[in-house]
């Protein structure tokens, strides 16, 4: 499959005086993949997603989007291809959910234009896709964390992107909302979207990842299929605790990660 | 959706009626009360062949005294309110006023210098405009780090620049002749629509129109900036360009307001809040609504300022006396100030 995003020898630091966040990272994300970025707190997953979306420029190396250097593309051009779902967002004003979702049309509208009926219909379609159409007329400060995450995904979908970058979309959610969000992501992947997501849950990679990259101490230490990348050894290396990886049959038919206390 | 759109345009229409009513009422009221029919005839006689059945004095009171002043009220009220609403969106803070970047302090200093040195209203207006813009320019360049201008840096720089110019203005007041120069400076700093002439309006009118037009043109995108700069960039917005358009337009409007009417506070903070109560936080609807409410409000307050007492009350004092309690009420009622 064609590479959608290619990151080559990339490194990042905020300024020449500050610490290196990561360096010498190379990988490609192919079209249609569900790519998991896993690593401990502070490993630089969010920073890397921001580099992949062009929000931060890499200090060394390159990021290519459809074989074009992302630094040569305008914010508008990137936003037409890449939808970015931030970890969390605080709105200073109590906008209606529909008004937030329709913001995704910004990259498709001229500087002086504002959304018309056709744009609002597209926003409604995205809300329906992630199952939040009923929230359309609610104020964004009156919805739960799980609903807010889905609102942000719907907004990114309204950009009509080919790639969706998600920064820990399940981190602040309860178990039910975690799985709902993962199911939405899986369905979007089935519809042909390329997905890159940072996650704190290696377990979720067994649910719907096609490829997993592990970021630790400023470098990529492992990359491959979930089976290859997530092993008892690699989990020990990432988190510094003992985690057992077991295959469970009986209708579940997948591997699970089980933390073990007495190591 | 359809219903909501209809509802909003009806609200805007009623606000437009409110502005017209305020203008008409203000034309009628004053030391000489003029019946509405006569006002209508006077206004129409400038365009249609109507034979004059009123005295020249009345004609002059309406056309030369009240109309320019009321039009200035409309422009300044609309301008300060739309600038306030825009700044609040860009700075993601409903407590921000159009003076946040130091326009008022810079303009106040310019005016004080002009009053001290020249004693000509034209120079006062010119210098206040120039120094108002210079203050914001200083704020903007002070806040520039790594080719970006983060919002927090701009607010802090605005405080620094504003304090500096306030201190300089205090110094001007201190060295000014206490018999005539100092009262003139103080009166100017308190704001008044008293000095505005028809000529002033021909000069600043088009500037207001252009900048208000620009803000209205990009008003939906203020929503995007209000979500945060990084988020707006992820959505495909050229944030530095958009911010520059908004800040320049709002600043020029504010500086132009200050140059014809002195410093009229509180409008730019309070009116956008009232606008949000009426049409909600979406800047697409909020900017036109704030503009109309602000125009009506300033015309009404100015009418009070010039009719209630024998001598005129500086309008800046009135807007603060009315604005502060109204704002306090809104804060308590809506908790977080939304």
Confidence band, pLDDT 50/70/90 cuts, at residue B338: very low
- Report the 10 Å Cβ neighbour count for B254: 30
**Backbone phi, then psi, for B236, in 5-degree steps?**
100, 20
pLDDT tens by residue, B27-74:
999 888 899 889 999 999 888 888 888 888 999 999 989 999 999 999
Q: What is the DSSP string of B46-84?
A: TTS-----S-HHHHHIIIIIIHHHHHHHHHHHHHHHHHH
- Report the 10 Å Cβ neighbour count for B60: 11
Tell me whether B226 touches chain A (CB under 8 Å).
Answer: yes
Report the SS3 class of residue A259: strand
Task: Give the mean pLDDT of B3-8.
Answer: 61
Q: Do residues B261 and B193 touch, judged by C-beta distance below 8 A?
A: yes
Which is it for strands A20-30 and A194-199: parallel, antiparallel or unpaired? Answer: unpaired
Q: What is the DSSP string of A231-243?
A: -HHHHHHHHSS-E
pLDDT for B327 equals: 82
pLDDT at B5 over 70: no
Report the SS3 class of residue A26: strand
Structure tokens given for A163: 């790639």
Q: Do residues B243 and B149 touch, judged by C-beta distance below 8 A?
A: yes
Q: What is the DSSP string of A204-230?
A: HHHHH-SEEEEEETTEEEEEESHHHH-
Structure tokens given for A87: 């970890």
pLDDT tens by residue, A169-197:
998 888 988 998 999 999 999 999 999 99
Q: Do residues A6 and A58 touch, judged by C-beta distance below 8 A?
A: no
Residue of chain A whose Cα is closest to the Cα of B280: A95
Tell me whether A88 touches chain B (CB under 8 Å).
Answer: no
Q: Do residues B333 and B276 touch, judged by C-beta distance below 8 A?
A: no
Q: Do residues A36 and A49 touch, judged by C-beta distance below 8 A?
A: no
- Indicate the pTM of the whole model: 0.90
Cα torsion A147, A151, A156, A157: sign: positive
B47 CB-near residues (< 8 Å, 6+ apart): none
Report the range of poorest mean pLDDT among A33-37, A163-167, A251-255, B165-169.
Answer: A251-255
Tell me whether A91 touches chain B (CB under 8 Å).
Answer: yes
pLDDT at B147 over 80: no
CA dist A155 and B217 (Å) reads: 23
Whole-number CA gyration radius for chain B: 20
The CA distance from A174 to the nearest CA of chain B, in Å, is 25
Q: Do residues B62 and B27 touch, judged by C-beta distance below 8 A?
A: yes
Which of B93, B238, B284 lies at the smallest CB-CB distance from A92?
A: B93
Alpha helices, H only, chain A: 45-52, 75-81, 97-101, 117-129, 145-158, 175-190, 202-208, 226-229, 232-239
pLDDT tens by residue, B117-138:
987 778 888 898 899 889 988 9
Confidence band, pLDDT 50/70/90 cuts, at residue B1: very low
pLDDT tens by residue, B302-312:
999 999 888 88
Contact A86 B235 (CB under 8 A): no
The CA distance from A146 to the nearest CA of chain B, in Å, is 19
Task: Give the mean pLDDT of B206-220.
Answer: 96
Question: A33 vs A159, A225, B4, CA distance in Å?
Answer: 19, 11, 41
Task: Give the mean pLDDT of A226-233.
Answer: 92
The CA distance from A50 to the nearest CA of chain B, in Å, is 9
A130 CB-near residues (< 8 Å, 6+ apart): A150, A153, A154, A157, A184
- DSSP letter (8 states) at residue B102: S
Residue of chain A whose Cα is closest to the Cα of B215: A112
Most confident of A36-50, A160-174, B208-222, B315-329: B208-222
Q: Which residues of chain A lie closer than 8 angstroms to B86, CB-CB?
A: none
Question: B33 vs A153, B58, B84, B292, B310, CA distance in Å?
Answer: 62, 9, 34, 26, 15
Report the SS3 class of residue B258: helix
CA dist A182 and A168 (Å) reads: 11
CA dist A129 and A131 (Å) reads: 6
Cα torsion A183, A188, A191, A196: sign: negative
Contact A75 B233 (CB under 8 A): yes
């Amino acid at each position: 499959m064609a590479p959608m995003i290619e990151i080559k020898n990339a490194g990042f630091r905020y300024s020449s005086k500050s610490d290196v966040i990561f360096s010498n990272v190379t990988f490609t994300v192919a079209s249609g993949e569900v790519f998991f970025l896993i690593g401990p707190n502070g490993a630089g997953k969010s920073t890397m997603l921001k580099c992949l979306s062009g929000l931060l420029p890499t200090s060394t190396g390159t990021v290519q989007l459809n074989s074009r250097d992302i630094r040569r593309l305008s914010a508008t051009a990137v936003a037409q291809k890449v939808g970015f779902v931030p970890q969390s967002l605080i709105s200073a004003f109590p906008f209606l959910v529909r008004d937030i979702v329709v913001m995704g049309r910004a990259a498709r509208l001229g500087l002086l234009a504002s959304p018309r009926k056709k744009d609002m219909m597209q926003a409604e379609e995205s809300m329906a896709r992630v199952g939040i159409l009923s929230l359309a007329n609610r104020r964004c400060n009156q919805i739960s964390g799980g609903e807010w995450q889905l609102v942000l995904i719907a907004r990114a979908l309204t950009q009509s992107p080919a790639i969706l970058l998600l920064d820990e979309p399940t981190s602040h959610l309860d178990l039910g909302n975690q799985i709902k969000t993962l199911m939405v992501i899986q369905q979007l992947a089935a519809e042909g979207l390329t997905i890159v997501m940072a996650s704190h849950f290696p377990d979720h990679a067994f649910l719907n990842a096609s490829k997993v990259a592990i970021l630790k101490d400023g470098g990529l230490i492992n990359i491959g299929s979930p089976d290859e990348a997530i092993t008892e050894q690699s989990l020990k290396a990432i988190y510094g605790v003992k985690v057992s990886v077991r295959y469970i049959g009986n209708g579940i038919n997948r591997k699970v990660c089980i933390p073990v206390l007495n190591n | 959706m359809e219903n909501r759109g209809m509802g909003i345009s009806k609200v805007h229409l009623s606000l437009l009626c409110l502005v017209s009513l305020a203008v008409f009422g203000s034309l009628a009221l004053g030391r000489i009360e003029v019946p509405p029919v006569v006002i209508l005839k006077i206004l129409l006689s400038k365009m249609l062949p109507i034979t004059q059945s009123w005295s020249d004095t009345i004609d002059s009171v309406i056309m030369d005294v009240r109309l320019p002043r009321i039009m200035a009220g409309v422009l300044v009220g609309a301008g300060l309110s739309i600038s306030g609403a825009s700044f609040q969106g860009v700075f993601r803070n409903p407590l921000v006023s159009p003076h946040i970047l130091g326009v008022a302090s810079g303009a106040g200093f310019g005016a004080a210098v002009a009053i001290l040195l020249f004693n000509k209203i034209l120079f006062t207006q010119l210098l206040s405009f120039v120094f108002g813009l210079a203050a914001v320019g200083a704020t903007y360049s002070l806040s520039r780090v790594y080719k970006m201008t983060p919002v927090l840096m701009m607010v802090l720089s605005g405080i620094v620049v504003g304090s500096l110019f306030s201190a300089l203005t205090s110094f001007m007041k201190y060295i000014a002749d206490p018999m005539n120069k100092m009262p003139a400076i103080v009166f100017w700093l308190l704001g008044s629509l008293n000095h505005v002439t028809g000529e002033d309006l021909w000069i600043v009118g088009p500037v207001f129109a252009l900048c208000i037009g620009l803000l209205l043109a990009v008003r939906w995108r203020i929503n995007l900036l209000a979500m945060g700069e990084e988020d707006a960039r992820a959505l495909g917005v050229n944030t530095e360009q958009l911010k520059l358009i908004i800040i320049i337009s709002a600043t020029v409007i504010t500086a132009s307001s200050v140059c014809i009417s002195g410093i009229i506070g509180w409008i730019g903070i309070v009116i956008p809040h009232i606008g949000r109560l009426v049409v909600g936080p979406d800047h697409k609807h909020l900017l036109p609504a704030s503009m109309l409410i602000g125009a009506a409000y300033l015309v009404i307050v100015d009418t009070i300022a010039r009719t209630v007492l024998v001598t005129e009350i500086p309008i800046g004092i009135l807007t603060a006396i009315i604005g502060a309690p109204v704002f306090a009420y809104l804060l308590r009622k809506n908790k977080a100030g939304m």
